[in-house]
Amino acid sequence: MILFLKRIVALLFICAIFFRGAHSQILSSIAPLADKPPAEKHLIICVDGVGFSTIEKMRAEGRFHFFGRPARMIAPFPTLTNVAMTEILAPAGALEAAGYEDNFYDATENRMRGGLLDRFNKKRFINGTFRELFDYHPSAIKSGLGYALPPVSTYLEALSDLIRLKQKINSSKEQLFFAYLGSTDSLSHLGGERMVRSFLSMLEKSVGEIFRESEGRVQVTLFSDHGNHYRNYKRVSLKSTLRRAGFKLESRIKDERSVVLPQFGLIGCALLFTRDANEARLAQLTAGIRGVDFAVYEKDGVVHVLGRGGAAVIERRGEKFRYGLESGDPLELKDVSERLKREGKADAEGFIADADWFAATREGARPDVLRRVYTGATEYVRNRANVILSFEDGYYSGSYALDIFAFLQATHGNVMREQSFGFVMKTGTELPAYLRAREMWAAIGSPVLQRERLATKQ
C-alpha cells in the first residue's frame, strides 16, 4: 500500500513538471493585448494568504520590479479570509459575511452551516458572498481539489488557476478585470513558502507579459488579504480543557454547558459559541491554555481581553480608544499608552485618538492591535463568536480530518505580524508603508467593479 501511494505521488509530481511545461506553451499561444483599445485597463489580482515578507524577499531578488513599493496591508482580526475580504471590499459593495469561515455556526438557527460540500455548490459558495464581486474566481468544485493529495494536487490546482486566469483576462473587453486566486493560501498551508514563491514567479511572468505588451495601457494591482507564518506548529489542547471544566462540545447550543467550536481549516485562532452568561468564565478558562495568546469577548460595548499576562478592557468613544488595565498587561500596551499620555495625546478621561494608536503600534509584534481586537469582537460577521482566541505563533486548531493527510506548513488567524501582514502593490504607484484593510481600496484608486457598473446602468 505504501509503495502504491509513493508511485501515485511520483506520478503526480511528473504531471506537475509536465503541467509547468504546458503552462509555458499555453502562455505563448495566447494572443497579445495589442488589439485592445487604447483606453487604460486596470487588472486587479488577489493572491490569498501571501504575506508581505514573502513579497519582500522576492523583490530583493529582483522579482515584481515593475510594481511600485508595496505596502504592508494590516488584516483585521481574526486574520481569516472572510473577515479580511469583507473589510477590504466593503467600499466595493461586499456584504457582511455570515461567518468567519465557510463552515460556521448560525446563531439564529442554532446549528452549523456550510462546509466542504458547499464548496461544490456555486449558489452557496459564491453567490451572496464577497466572491461574486470577482470577474474570475475558481469554480466551487475546483477550489476543493487542491486538498485531494497535497501538496502535489495543491500545486497542480494553482498552475491551472494561472492558465485559466490569463485566458479570462485576454477574453475580457472590460476596462477593469478583478481576479481571485485562492490556491496561494492552500499552497501556503500545505506546500510551504518554496512552492508559493515558485507559483508567484510564474504569476509575475504572466503579469509582466501583459504589462509589457500593453505598452503602458494596463495598470496592475496585486494584493493579499492576510499573511501566513511558515514554521513548525503544535495543536492547542482546547477540547480536553473544556471537557474537564464541565463544558460539552456540541454542534448546537442545548443548555448552559454547551460550547460550539467550528473546526474547518487549520488556523491560528479559535471561535467559541456559548450562552452569554458563560463568556467571562470561558475566556478565563481558555486564556490559560498553553499556546493561547489571549481570549477576548464583548459585553455592553466593552471588549474584555484576558491572557496569561493579565486582564484589560478596551473601550471606544467615536474614533478614540482607551486601554484599561485590570491586572498585568495582556496586549503589552502599557508603555505605549503611558508614552502617548505623556505626549498629550489622551483626553481627560484617557481616550486616545485611533490615528495615534495606529502610528504607535503598527510596527509592533501585534500590529494595530487595539482597534483590531475591538472591531474583531464587535464587527465583520453576522454570527459573532462569544469568545475569540488568538494563539501564539506556532500553535493552531481546526479540522482533525486535515491533520490525517496534510502536514501544516503555515497558517493564519492570530493577531501577530506574519499572519497579519498582507500586502498591496500597484504599477506606477508608490503606496504608504502601512495600510489598514479598510483603506486599501481607496489607496488603489477606488475602482468600480462590474457589479457596481451594472447596477449604475440599470
Instruction: Report DSSP letters for 91-108, one per residue.
Output: GGTPPPBSSSSSSEEETT
Report the alpha-carbon distance of residue 47 to residue 424 in Å, rounded. 10
Where does the pLDDT of residue 217 fall: very low under 50, low under 70, confident under 90, or very high at 90 and above?
A: confident
Q: 247 and 238 in contact (C-beta within 8 Å)?
A: no
pLDDT at res. 140 = 60
Q: 70 and 424 in contact (C-beta within 8 Å)?
A: yes
C-alpha distances out from residue 215 to 37, 286, 444, Å: 12, 57, 20
Cis peptide preceding 91, ω within 30 of 0: no
C-alpha distances out from residue 57 to 53, 232, 299, Å: 6, 20, 42
- Give burial (CB, 10 Å; 0-12/13-18/19+) of 454: exposed
E strand intervals along 308-353: 310-317, 320-328, 352-353
Report the alpha-carbon distance of residue 196 to residue 337 in Å, rounded. 39
Instruction: Give pairs for 243-250: CB < 8 Å, separation 24+.
Output: 245/285, 247/274, 247/278, 247/282
pLDDT at res. 158 = 87
C-alpha distances out from residue 229 to 72, 151, 185, 382, 395, Å: 15, 17, 11, 28, 11
Angle, in degrees to the nearest 10, between helices 2-29 and 193-213: 10
Within 8 A by CB and 6+ apart from 34, the residues are: 213
- CATH label, 2-32+40-231+417-457, candidates 3.40.50, 1.20.1280, 2.60.120, 3.40.720: 3.40.720
Q: Is 250 helix (H, G, I), strand (E, B) or coil?
A: coil
pLDDT digits (tens, 9 = 90+) for 258-296: 999 999 889 999 999 999 999 999 999 999 999 999 999
Domain ranges of the chain: 2-32+40-231+417-457, 234-407
pLDDT at res. 90 = 95
pLDDT at res. 117 = 63
What's the CA dihedral at 405, 411, 413, 415 to 10 degrees?
Answer: 150
Q: Which of 173, 161, 174 is nearest to 202 (CA)?
A: 161
From the CA atom positions of the chain, what is the Rg in Å?
22
pLDDT digits (tens, 9 = 90+) for 359-411: 999 999 999 999 999 999 999 999 999 999 999 999 999 999 888 878 999 99
Angle, in degrees to the nearest 10, between helices 152-171 and 193-213: 10
pLDDT digits (tens, 9 = 90+) for 92-126: 999 999 999 989 999 999 999 986 666 665 666 67
Report the alpha-carbon distance of residue 196 to residue 221 in Å, rounded. 19
Residue 229 dihedral angles phi and psi, to the nearest 5°: -110, 115
Estimate to the nearest angstrom the gap between the alpha carbon of 197 and the chain centroid. Answer: 18
Angle, in degrees to the nearest 10, between helices 52-60 and 193-213: 70
